[in-house]
Amino acid sequence: MYIATLLCNPAKPCVEPALVESLRNAWGGSEALWLAPDVAAEFSVTAMPENQWQVWEDLQGLGVDLVLQPAANRRKKMLLADMDSTMIQQECIDELAEEAGVGARVKDITARAMNGELDFNGALTERVSLLKGLPETVIGDVLDNRITLMPGGPALLSTMKADGAYAALVSGGFTAFTARVAATLGFDENRANTLLVADGKLTGEAARPILGREAKVEALEQISARLGISEADVIAVGDGANDLGMLLRAGAGVALHAKPAVAAQCEIRINHGDLTALLYIQGYAQDDFSQNNSKD
């Protein structure tokens, strides 16, 4: 048994009942269950439709995401999340680079690294070197004035945690940022790289070893083992090439507004929905959402 979920950007509701009924009838699905009016609906099918990706492509043009996954074990016990362009709307290193006057150069390297065109570790080392001499106080300024949460994040964290799930933030970015974001959203732990500072200024180096793609996979392995759960009990979310390892290993790997080369390798692709999409695909209805645990 499989579950088909149709969803869209909650800020622009566009999942029409006629669309859901048409697809349900075409695929011989069960009666549709609405998780949120005009935003998300699901129905079950007995077999994976052969035209899944053609229908997915057609729905993309309507602003609708389509996810098909096994009905069993949909509700996960752990959230493993990337930070930059996933839990927040920015790339922290790009924002620091703007302050250092090298924004355009760093943004180009970031984009190529996230699309898998450059080695992540080498790209990070090069970008951090361009920040040399930047006052450490700039980090706080960027956090206060440039960083914004991705829509749906507070609801995702508080709802999953209220249901007993564990949440870990794993980033190729920096601990100075993950600590604030993790505390704001209610993550149980966070892992990231550390920017080295001397005499109140960035040295242009990051502490070794660099946390990249393999470190995210290690976090998946280590934390799930520590919790006594399987990797199938984990939902992971990210957007860049350095997230692919954990996305392909987790029970549900969600490519959220991901780079094309990344999304192409993932079975769950969310291009229109926000982070609440991760709740809908687990079968949570809007009425189940809780934001009581969020500090933001």
The candidate with the shortest Cα–Cα distance to 261, out of 111, 129, 123, 89, is 111
**Token output for 119:** 């080695």
Asked whether the beta carbons of 218 and 201 are under 8 A apart, the reply is no
Say if strands 166-174 and 189-193 run parallel, antiparallel, or are unpaired: parallel
Strand partners, 190: 169
Contacts of 295 (CB under 8 A, 6+ apart): 183, 184, 185, 186
Phi, psi of 221 (to 5 degrees): -65, -50
Phi, psi of 42 (to 5 degrees): -140, 160
Catalytic residues: 82, 84
Beta-carbon count within 10 A of 199 CB: 6
Contacts of 127 (CB under 8 A, 6+ apart): 93, 97, 106, 109, 110
**Euclidean distance between CA atoms 10 and 13, whole angstroms:** 5
**Euclidean distance between CA atoms 225 and 205, whole angstroms:** 32
The candidate with the shortest Cα–Cα distance to 133, out of 95, 92, 91, 99, is 99
